[in-house]
A and B are shown apart, each in its own frame.
Chain A
Amino acid sequence: MKVCTMERKVLILGGGVAGMQTAIALNDLGISSVLVEKEQELGGRVKNYDKTFPFFHSGKELVKELEDRVRRAHLVEIRCGTTVSHVEGQAPHFQASLGTGNYKIPVGVIVVATGFEPFDASLQEEYGYGIYKNVITATELERLLDPEGPTKGEIRRPSDGKIASRIGIVFCVGSRNEKLNHNYCSRICCSYSTKQAIEIEERNPDARVVCFYIDIRTYGRGFEEMYRRAQEMGITYVRGRVAECGMLPNGDITIRAEDTFLGKPVQGVFDLVSLSHGMTPSLDAPKIATMLDINVAEDGFFDCRDKDLYPNDATREGVFLAGAAIGMKPIPDCIADGNAVAARIAAFLASNLEKAQ
């Protein structure tokens, strides 16, 4: 099977896990690509994660491994610190301009792997994120847990640096909420929160971790086992969404919720409260949708050509989607997306052989 390689490359927007895997898979298939990343470094969000769920492998090493492979791949051109500013033409004859518009490249196919943006927790005012110092987000907790992070892996609370031994984790911040127009579930928050709870408990066995949830959606392979392990370690799960957070003079945070299993209100005082925020589509998504003339669905993520049969195809021919840009998913699924998109591209280019030459 002859596939076009030299003249028309594949343009990949986003150098995160999905984007890098797409490039690697395309390289294995003998197709050249241009990987465009707006930050100075590759790796997206996973490069900041010390441990990933459910097997507690290192996110940093995973990204390093991927980056190694991408850099060693002959057919991948990497462009960091730049964005795609303009795209003209039709598949498989697109013309893309990078950066300020001076560097133009002919591309055959475009892949959107722009990832996600963590929800801005200050929009849920009742939790007081930003106003009460000891209310932090899960991303910040991730940095606190990182042995190479600002506190060297010790869970110190922002207000006074005290080691936190009573920690509350609030699930479903920003997701499943009509008031914020986010009716979807961000899927991985229950899982990453449980992972963080386990990490906290391992670091400090005397710590008291209480998770307040609506449902536990540890759906994936190995996730339920992780949840079971978390419970056996003594992490308490209270089924009831947190109504509000308040602050005491010494910086402790009070939480009000209801325990729906016992039908009684619950109040707790914690040293540190972590908001397990959901994910929204990347902030550049609307701009990219306009630029590439593809549709964005009601929930803000990119829309597929057919949700059942073509989950990786965008609504326009020649544009494909991978990774968290189509909806939040765990890392193995992003890798799978990268491979899937590469296969789709190979098929597309093969069928458009004459046109692409």
Chain B
Amino acid sequence: MQQINVYDVEARESTWKKYIKEIPQDSYFLLPSCILAVAYPGTEAMMPRLFDFLDLDWNWNLKPESMCTCCSGIAYHGDVTTIESTLLTTARLWSIAQEAGYDTIAVACVTSFGIHSECFDLYHEEPGLKQKIDKLLMKACGRKFEPPKHIIHVSDIVYDNRLKLGDEFMTYQLVDKYSGRPLRGVDHVGCHYNKLFPLERSLGGAEYCEVLSGLVKAWGGESIDYPERRHCCGMGFRQCMITPNRGFTAACVNKKMVSMEPFEPDFIVTNCPGCEVHLDKQQWAIKELTGKKYFIPVLTYMELAGLLLGWDPYDIVGIQFHTVPVEPLLDRIGIPYNESKTWLGKDERTLPCSDEIVKATLAAGRTMRGIPLP
């Protein structure tokens, strides 16, 4: 097959290297995500696991009364709440972090990352805002806060440690087991990661963001550049919230799929929960609406790391929650998996499943252990 990627790698390196941000090496306060825990629980459960694995100093909720909340990003961007509510929520989260003694916030979700960056920036832009929010926070829950020193995303941490993970700990590589060619990975970076504050907050800038591409390259794969690479996944908060608008989201994902198809990618890696949900699930919707099966597995950076480190695909990484089957990719890499666990959740409890899917799976000749048969 002809060489697919003919872009100049060196020129790209010199371009993205203009946007380097400082990533602290240790001491993170982890702020989990609301959607990620629900849709892809494995990803979030792996974060503390990876931090412990790498021996990093991290922390999160310390007391019952200081539970982390959603950053209110989806409500704010969906035009349901005002910016004051968001400022207040983030102020409380920062206060909790400072109480625990950390000045670095490590966020699990890209929307949260965007929200925290925006709030941080607002305090710089608007004098007097800090005093107002101080007053409100004291009135609401009796806390005091300061803007944190560093706001980073967990994918930054993984990027920072990618070589260490890749060289010392990973048992598998992103290489096709049979032919030996590097697997082609498409990197999809969440919009709020690199497009809001490209100079200050992104690793690699808005055009050639490196945070995920670097992971793919460090772990043996090949990073693909295709025309719609910078295109938003279409989640759009208010787009996906309102049913009649969802055609927009599906159209965005469709546009990306059509554009990446000639490059024949093997997988997509994302760092945003919203992107993950929609790139994964809209592929099914596209199949239903147009009949075209793209079915390119979509993984979060954490799942990718977990799989290559050799952690159990079902019990730890949680690939059973994916709509697009990830098993073909595992076969390619050569990761073994226990297929009987495909329909089981935590502690071997069965996942709820509709009758149609049961019928279709049985008709395809597969087993669904634990599901009561019709």
Q: Mark A109-147, 1 if CB is under 8 A from B, else 0.
A: 000000000000010011010111100000000000000
Q: Confirm or deny: A292 has a beta carbon within 8 angstroms of a beta carbon on chain B.
A: no
Whether A133 lies near B8 (C-beta < 8 A) is yes
> A246-B229, A249-B2 in contact; A125/B7 too (CB < 8 A)?
no
From the candidates B4, B8, B206, B226, name the one contacting A131 in the complex (CB within 8 A). B8
From the candidates B7, B8, B207, B263, name the one contacting A126 in the complex (CB within 8 A). B207
* Min C-beta distance of A268 to chain B, whole Å: 11
Whether B207 lies near A122 (C-beta < 8 A) is no
Q: Mark B269-285, 1 if CB is under 8 A from A, else 0.
A: 00000000000000000
Main SS of chain B's interface residues? loop
Residues of A within 8 A of B12 (CB): 131
* Min C-beta distance of A137 to chain B, whole Å: 14
Residues of A within 8 A of B7 (CB): 128, 131-133, 247
- In the assembly, what is the distance between CA of A247 and CA of B4, in Å? 10
Q: Confirm or deny: A99 has a beta carbon within 8 angstroms of a beta carbon on chain B.
A: no
Q: Confirm or deny: A262 has a beta carbon within 8 angstroms of a beta carbon on chain B.
A: no
Q: Mark A243-279, 1 if CB is under 8 A from B, else 0.
A: 0101111110010000000000000000000000000
Residues of A within 8 A of B4 (CB): 249
Chain A interface extent, by class: 10 to 19
Whether A159 lies near B6 (C-beta < 8 A) is yes
- In the assembly, what is the distance between CA of A128 and CA of B15, in Å? 9
From the candidates A125, A159, A254, name the one contacting B227 in the complex (CB within 8 A). A254
* Min C-beta distance of A22 to chain B, whole Å: 39
Whether A251 lies near B205 (C-beta < 8 A) is no
Closest to A254 in B: B227
Q: Mark B212-234, 1 if CB is under 8 A from A, else 0.
A: 00000000000001111110000
Q: Confirm or deny: B208 has a beta carbon within 8 angstroms of a beta carbon on chain A.
A: yes
> A125-B207, A126-B207, A133-B6 in contact; A248/B262 too (CB < 8 A)?
yes
Closest to B259 in A: A246
> A125-B208, A249-B263 in contact; A131/B227 too (CB < 8 A)?
no
- In the assembly, what is the distance between CA of A132 and CA of B206, in Å? 17
From the candidates B2, B6, B207, B230, name the one contacting A247 in the complex (CB within 8 A). B6
Q: Mark A26-53, 1 if CB is under 8 A from B, else 0.
A: 0000000000000000000000000000
Closest to B224 in A: A249
Residues of B within 8 A of A244 (CB): 207, 230
Whether B228 lies near A131 (C-beta < 8 A) is no
Q: Mark B1-17, 1 if CB is under 8 A from A, else 0.
A: 01011111001100100
Kindly list the 5 A-B residue pairs having the minimum CB-CB distance in the complex, ordered from nearest: A246-B227, A130-B11, A125-B207, A254-B227, A131-B11
- Contacts A131-B7, A247-B226 supplied; 6 other A-B pairs, CB < 8 Å: A125-B208, A130-B8, A246-B226, A246-B229, A248-B226, A248-B227
Interface residue ranges, B against A (CB under 8 Å): 2, 4-8, 11-12, 15, 205-208, 225-230, 259, 262-263
